């Protein structure tokens, strides 16, 4: 047991136990890494228009997100596939320096191509930092605090959904997009410098194996293709890209199942194994949640809500996630299992209910219709937050020490995959359902109804999987 673990007393554990004197340094370091990834994901999306207005490159606009997401997935994978003998603390230092270098490249970029290079470097380091938050859990916290750490990370992502665009808006208003990158450089340097003293040195207990290059290449191709599908305008191109991406994933899973050189933990691609069902639930929950990206548009078009207000209303999804994460943080055993099931049901039902409450012509913003829609938005996030930390704890608790890094890295990878697939599918659905043609009120109503009807279906998969989980695996 490490010196950090020894600081835990016999008092009932809560999320605030993570900030006790003995655990505070590690919590700040690991939580800080997740903060950088989460907030940066949203800041750049907000300042991107300012970047292209200043240095040009509108044709490459979508690549700023595409490269960041793809590099983030590769970064999270690299935590588990790093060369043998390199400890997690060394990886953390490298990740912080890489993230800082990516921000510096973006800040001094004279043309959009250099910004894109910086975004790739930045995303790689951010993906590593996010995966390291989960990889370090078993080394810095005793098992009774694993859920609490996962709760904290979930809350960070919820807060970042609001904080990121807000900070990005401040930098955009003053055309200070370079400063938005440069302010993170010294912070990343400080984190790299502090890691040697604030994070424990742990041995590399992974099994010796070769890097599964083929699986990594197929997964990376799937993410890139799916991200591109979400940004291309032509419907036929979207469908082709999504189809090829899905083939890449299926091929990767088939190779993974037969290969002795695995990217994922043992049993992760076999639906009969609990860990496989856990990852599938994470994937589908994130897919469903990404349907919220069109909520501001539908609020403005169908309900007459002002743009600023619609932005605050959709932030209720993040607020629901955060509040539910803290509410369920103390659950364990059977209560944790119930929280997962209820959470899946809530997210699915809330998403489907938007067919009735959001897909309506309500130009005057009648609260009788708008009120239930707002509640449904909150419950979408609440459902995910209710069970997410428990899913993470189950994943970490199911695998042996030699595969912990794989299991932890896969959490971030699956989360990114769910978001990429979900955002691309939402674009295909709304455009196929008439958002642009015929457009207007009829097109928006049709698009909203089809979107929330179809995007609730993956939630049913999550519900079915949740019913198969046993409390004993908590």
Do the domain assignments include residue 456?
yes
- Whether 33 and 98 have beta carbons less than 8 Å apart is answered as no
CA 218 – CA 226 distance, rounded (Å): 12
Give the total residue count for the chain. 474
Angle value at C-alpha 418, between 150 and 467, nearest 5 degrees: 65
**Does one domain contain both 191 and 224?**
no
**Does one domain contain both 127 and 229?**
no
Could you tell me which residue, 106 or 408, shows the higher pLDDT?
A: 106
pLDDT in tens, 176-223: 889 989 989 999 999 999 999 999 888 776 766 778 889 889 988 988
Do the domain assignments include residue 48?
yes
**Does one domain contain both 340 and 369?**
yes
Q: What is the pLDDT of residue 471?
A: 63
**Does one domain contain both 246 and 382?**
no
Do the domain assignments include residue 3?
no
Q: What is the pLDDT of residue 308?
A: 67
Q: What is the pLDDT of residue 263?
A: 85
Could you tell me which residue, 280 or 173, shows the higher pLDDT?
A: 280
**Does one domain contain both 73 and 190?**
yes
**Does one domain contain both 239 and 324?**
no
**Does one domain contain both 192 and 329?**
no
pTM of the model: 0.81
Q: What is the pLDDT of residue 208?
A: 67
Helix axes 457-466, 274-289, angle to 10 degrees: 150
Mean pLDDT calculated for residue range 354-381: 91
pLDDT band at 464 (very low <50, low <70, confident <90, very high): very high
**Does one domain contain both 315 and 455?**
yes
Do the domain assignments include residue 141?
yes
pLDDT in tens, 386-412: 999 899 889 988 888 778 888 888 888
**Does one domain contain both 174 and 234?**
no
Domain-ending residue, one of 156, 172, 204: 204
Q: What is the pLDDT of residue 2?
A: 43
Angle value at C-alpha 422, between 319 and 224, nearest 5 degrees: 120
CA 394 – CA 194 distance, rounded (Å): 30
Residues ≥6 apart with Cβ < 8 Å to 9: none
Mean pLDDT calculated for residue range 76-105: 91
**Does one domain contain both 308 and 226?**
no
Q: Domain span at residue 412?
A: 266-474
Do the domain assignments include residue 125?
yes
Look at residue 10 and tell me whether its pLDDT is greater than 70.
no
Q: What is the pLDDT of residue 409?
A: 81
- Residue 384 phi, psi (nearest 5): -65, -45
- Mean pLDDT highest for which of 150-164, 235-249, 396-410? 235-249
CATH code at position 347 = 1.20.1250.20
Do the domain assignments include residue 10?
no
Provide the domain count of the chain.
Answer: 3
Could you tell me which residue, 346 or 77, shows the higher pLDDT?
A: 346
Do the domain assignments include residue 12?
no
Q: What is the pLDDT of residue 55?
A: 92
CA 318 – CA 102 distance, rounded (Å): 27
Least confident of 2-11, 102-111, 172-181, 398-407: 2-11
pLDDT in tens, 323-344: 998 888 888 889 999 999 999 9
pLDDT band at 474 (very low <50, low <70, confident <90, very high): very low
Q: What is the pLDDT of residue 8?
A: 46
Q: Say what percent of the chain tops pLDDT 90.
A: 36
Do the domain assignments include residue 300?
yes
Look at residue 5 and tell me whether its pLDDT is greater than 60.
no
Mean pLDDT calculated for residue range 249-263: 89
**Does one domain contain both 334 and 432?**
yes
pLDDT band at 418 (very low <50, low <70, confident <90, very high): confident
pLDDT band at 165 (very low <50, low <70, confident <90, very high): low
Q: What is the pLDDT of residue 174?
A: 65
Could you tell me which residue, 406 or 247, shows the higher pLDDT?
A: 247
**Does one domain contain both 85 and 191?**
yes
Domain-ending residue, one of 204, 231, 249: 204
Cis peptide before 172 (omega within 30 of 0): no
Long-range contact list for 50-56, CB < 8 A, 24+ apart?
Answer: 50/171, 50/172, 50/175, 50/177, 51/112, 51/115, 51/177, 52/112, 54/175, 54/177, 55/109, 55/110, 55/111, 55/112, 55/115, 56/111, 56/112
Query: Among the residues of 399-439, which ranges form H helices?
Result: 404-432
């Amino acid at each position: 047991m490490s010196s950090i673990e020894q600081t835990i007393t016999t008092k009932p554990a809560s999320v605030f136990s993570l900030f006790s004197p003995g655990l505070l340094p590690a919590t700040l370091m690991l939580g800080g890494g997740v903060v950088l990834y989460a907030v940066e994901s949203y800041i750049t999306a907000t300042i991107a228009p300012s970047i292209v207005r200043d240095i040009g490159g509108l044709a490459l606009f979508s690549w700023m997100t595409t490269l960041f997401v793809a590099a983030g997935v590769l970064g999270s994978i690299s935590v588990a596939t790093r060369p043998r003998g390199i400890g997690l603390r060394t990886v953390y230092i490298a990740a912080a320096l890489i993230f800082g270098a990516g921000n510096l490249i973006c800040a001094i970029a004279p043309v959009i191509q250099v910004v894109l290079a910086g975004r790739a470097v930045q995303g790689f380091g951010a993906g590593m930092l996010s995966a390291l938050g989960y990889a370090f859990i078993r080394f810095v916290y005793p098992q009774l605090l694993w859920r609490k750490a996962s709760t904290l990370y979930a809350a960070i992502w919820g807060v970042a959904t609001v904080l990121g665009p807000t900070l990005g808006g401040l930098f955009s208003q003053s055309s200070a997009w370079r400063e938005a990158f440069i302010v993170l450089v010294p912070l990343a340097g400080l984190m790299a410098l502090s890691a040697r003293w604030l994070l424990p040195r742990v041995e590399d207990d992974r099994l010796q194996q070769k890097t599964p290059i083929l699986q990594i290449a197929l997964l990376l191709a799937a993410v890139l293709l799916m991200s591109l599908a979400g940004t291309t305008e032509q419907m036929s191109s979207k469908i082709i890209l999504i189809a090829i991406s899905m083939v890449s994933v299926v091929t990767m899973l088939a190779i993974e199942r037969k290969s002795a050189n695995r990217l994922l933990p043992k049993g992760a691609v076999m639906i009969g194994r609990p860990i496989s069902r856990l990852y599938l639930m994470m994937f589908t929950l994130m897919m469903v949640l990404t349907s919220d990206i069109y909520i501001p548009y539908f609020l403005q078009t169908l309900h007459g809500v002002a743009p600023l207000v619609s932005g605050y209303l959709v932030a209720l999804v993040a607020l629901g996630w955060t509040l539910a994460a803290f509410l369920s943080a103390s659950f364990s055993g059977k209560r944790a299992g119930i929280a997962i099931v209820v959470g899946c049901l809530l997210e699915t039902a809330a998403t489907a209910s938007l067919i009735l409450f959001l897909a309506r012509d309500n130009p005057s913003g009648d609260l009788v219709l708008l009120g239930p829609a707002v509640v449904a938005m909150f419950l979408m996030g609440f459902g995910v937050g209710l069970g997410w930390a428990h899913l993470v704890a189950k994943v970490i608790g199911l695998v042996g020490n030699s595969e912990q890094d794989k299991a932890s890295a896969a959490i971030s990878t699956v989360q990114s995959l769910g978001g990429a697939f979900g955002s691309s599918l939402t674009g295909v659905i709304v455009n196929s359902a008439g958002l642009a043609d015929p457009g207007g009120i009829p097109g928006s109503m049709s698009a909203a109804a089809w979107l929330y009807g179809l995007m609730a279906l993956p939630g049913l998969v999550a519900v079915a999987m949740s019913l198969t989980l046993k409390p004993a695996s908590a």
